Structure 1
Amino acid sequence: MHGFLFKKWRWLLLAILGLAIIGSGICWWQRAQAAQQFIQSKTPTFFFHGYGSSRHAEEHMANAAKRVGATNTIIWANVDRSGKVTFHGQIKANAINPIIEVNYENSRETNYHTDGQWAFNVLSAAKQKWGFKKMNLVGHSMGNMDIMYCLLDHPHSKQLPKLQKQVDIAGHFNGLNGEDEASSKLTADGKPTVTNRFYRELTKLRTTYPTGVNILNIYGNLQDGSNSDGTVPNNSSKSLRYLVSPVAQSYTEHEIKGSRAQHSKLHSNSQVDSLLINFLWGK
């Protein structure tokens, strides 16, 4: 009887050990595949959400990157109403392409200079804490204004990591639907024929925007005749080109079409996920 039980437990232990070895092998294979497909970098990517939103709007994109092996680390940074930054999670020494989801407690702040200062607080605090030399930035909706006003108000700041890549999703650089300027025609170089006061402020970036940055501008077209994503006219999103083209290393636009191109669905769109992942980390 004891011999039978001993054999039974021995085979069970061997089965468990075998499964563990197989599991380790699969994990190693997945990491090896990811290393072939994606850049293996310590450069962080910061995600900024839109108006009235939170870091949860960024989770779909961040988790998509983790699923395919483009990153192995996702943490988040909270910005309270006074602009104080608190990081949640750890970026370990073996982190690959770490992602930092930014959360504004006051997500309805409409003073873009304040929003930009909060972005600066996050980026500079991350550099101080982890010593980052470079960074990527991703914005959805008003998150794009957080980024642009941060760069506008802190040009060439040594307190920030060097910007490498920027992804703008559904940016309203020259206003929203219902505002006359937002749908105005663009000249050959991408400048709106009529601009709002915020866009006029941002034109300073034509000379102060960081050099050598690769930019991907994604916008949605519902194809319902509005030439918009339901919230932002396409020409308002596309007006980014005029602001950055004099100094950017590259600038690429991509239009998402159909019902999934609706403004608040763009950050949960598999096509956007693929574009973003390949642009930021693809080899």
Structure 2
Amino acid sequence: MVIEMRTTNKIFILIGLLVFIFGIGGYLGFKQIRKTTYPRVNGVPTIYLHGWGASGQSTNSMIMYAQKYAHAQKVLTVVVPKKGQPYVKGEWTTGVARPLIQIVFKDNKESNYQLTSGWLKKVMVLLKTRYHVNRFNAVAHSMGNLTLMYYELNYGRNKKLPQLRKEVNLAGHFDGIIGIDDKPNRNSLLKNGKPRFINKYYRYQLAQRHSFPANQVAILNIFGNMEDGSNSDGDVTRVSARSLKYLLRGQYKSYHEIEIKGPNAQHSKLHENNRVNKIINDFLWD
């Protein structure tokens, strides 16, 4: 009986030691995970937003060019599901002066910009709470432009969220897309810069334009003209893209637009065009 009690006590002591050892190990491991996952980082990140039906593939060329020629570094890919919270791939460590963040929407064919701007807000909340981001730059292609615009109109003045500083609009369809609500050479800009024909999205943006952060954002607007008679990049007309200036008149800190001409100015080729890549880099980091 005494031997059995001694044996039982030894078993309990051994179990207690194991629980203590694993508990300490788990605690230290948890601290290490928190330290690795939530660093306090430096540098103003630049986010890249793809267009309709696209993925990270469509922004890879711009990111790789920035890494090669502008000493930038891709630190994260943020994947945004249709429902639920965004999740992160990669590691953003301290000391990266020009961090790049690629954003990928799993539902890449959503044209409800109130919804997609809400998805982008979730990304901004994540960057703010996890990485202490206060400011950011953005490069948007095609429909990514409307997601960014609606985000700024809806949430851009919320000082609890990261504040936009530089914005690159590439092939932005602010007032229509060919084949959907626009036609080649149908629209034109009036003397004051306002487009003659206005679609529902542009009408909404006009009504909310004063919600865009005032005198804060430097804008570079790049659009294509294939010089095939359509005055467009095949999907977005010059008028639709250039309507951005009238839309944000008096709101932006600075505005500059550049027209790319020729076959490589086609809508999907613009984000593969090294002349465009250099212009973007010079604007963001020169």
Tell me the TM-score normalised to structure 1 length. 0.82
Change (3 A) 1:268 1:197: same
The corresponding residue for 1:271 is 275
Task: Give the whole-Å Cα distance in 1 for the aligned partners of 2:162 and 2:65.
Answer: 25
Aligned 8 A contact 1:205 1:243 in 2: no
Task: Give the whole-Å Cα distance in 1 for the aligned partners of 2:239 and 2:197.
Answer: 11
Q: CA RMSD in A?
A: 1.5
Task: Give the whole-Å Cα distance in 2 for the aligned partners of 1:278 and 1:205.
Answer: 30
The corresponding residue for 1:22 is none
- SS class of match (2:223): strand
- SS class of match (1:240): helix
In the alignment, structure 1 segments of 5+ residues that lack a partner are: 1-40
Matching of residue 78 in structure 1 with residue 79 in structure 2: yes
Matching of residue 209 in structure 1 with residue 242 in structure 2: no
Aligned 8 A contact 2:154 2:211 in 1: no
The corresponding residue for 1:143 is 144
Aligned 8 A contact 1:181 1:195 in 2: no
**Residue 99 of structure 1, CA deviation:** 0.6
Aligned 8 A contact 2:70 2:285 in 1: no
Structure with max Cα Rg: 2
Aligned 8 A contact 1:115 1:146 in 2: yes
Matching of residue 57 in structure 1 with residue 58 in structure 2: yes
The amino acid that maps onto 2:233 is D
Identity rate, percent: 37
Task: Give the whole-Å Cα distance in 1 for the aligned partners of 2:65 and 2:208.
Answer: 32
Which 4+ runs in 1 deviate beyond 3 A?
A: 180-183
The corresponding residue for 1:126 is 127
In the alignment, structure 2 segments of 5+ residues that lack a partner are: 1-41
The amino acid that maps onto 2:253 is Q
**Residue deviations 1:65-103, cap 9 Å, x none?**
000143133321000121521111111111111110000
Task: Give the whole-Å Cα distance in 1 for the aligned partners of 2:200 and 2:80.
Answer: 27
Aligned 8 A contact 1:221 1:258 in 2: yes
The corresponding residue for 1:248 is 252
The amino acid that maps onto 1:143 is G
The corresponding residue for 2:197 is 194
**Residue deviations 1:159-190, cap 9 Å, x none?**
32111100000000111113347841112332
Task: Give the whole-Å Cα distance in 2 for the aligned partners of 1:91 and 1:245.
Answer: 36
The corresponding residue for 2:14 is none
**Residue deviations 1:222-251, cap 9 Å, x none?**
000000000111100000111212111110
- SS class of match (1:203): helix
The corresponding residue for 2:96 is 95
Aligned 8 A contact 1:124 1:160 in 2: yes
Count of residues in Structure 1 that have an aligned counterpart in Structure 2: 242
Task: Give the whole-Å Cα distance in 1 for the aligned partners of 2:175 and 2:84.
Answer: 26
Aligned 8 A contact 1:83 1:118 in 2: no
